[in-house]
Structures are given as structure tokens and as C-alpha cells.
Amino acid sequence: MKRLRYSTQYKKDFKRYRNDPSKLRKLLDVFRMLENEIELPEKYKAHSLIGEYKDCMECHIEGDFLLIWFDKGNDVIEILRIGSHSELF
């Protein structure tokens, strides 16, 4: 089982969404899958990134609500950002 570590920027991003229970419920589902090393279903469109977020992964929680993370490989997943395309890129 992997451990999730949340970046300072993620914590700031989270404050924008903490009052949206629908998005948070879906986000927690993805967190559980990442912790338990379960491959994300196709509907999340998980893929690796290039550029500023090289070696990171991104998935679409719903529509234009994205999660960016980095799997350090040593039982730690760094949760970097959540938000829309325009907020993150």
C-alpha cells in the first residue's frame, strides 16, 4: 500500500474545492485507487505529462477537474495539484 503525501500547492488548490462534495467524493475514490495501487479505469484518462510536469501523471476526475501526481516509487505518491486545465497549465 502506498502513502500519499500532499504538496503545499495541492493544499492551496484543495481550498477552492472543499465545498463541492461531488468532486471531493470522486477525488477520494481516485486517492484510494492510487494508495492501493489499483490501475485507474479508462474513464479517468490517466496519462503522463511533459514539460513542467515531466515524469508526473494526470487524470481527469470529471470533465475539466484534473489531478496531477508523481509516483516516487518508494511507497510514496506525491499529490501535486488539482484544478482545471486553465488553472494548472
Q: What is the pLDDT of residue 41?
A: 97
If the chain, 89 residues long, is cut into consecutive pieces of 10 residues, what is the mean pLDDT of each piece?
97 96 96 96 97 96 96 93 95
Residue 69 near residue 57 (C-beta atoms within 8 A): yes
Q: pTM of this prediction? A: 0.94
Half-sphere exposure of 49 (CA within 13 A, CB side): 20
Question: Given this model, what pLDDT does residue 85 score?
Answer: 95
* pLDDT in the model for residue 72: 85
What's the one-letter identity of residue 26?
Answer: K
Output the pLDDT for position 73. 83
Please give the Cα distance from 5 to 65 (Å, whole number).
20
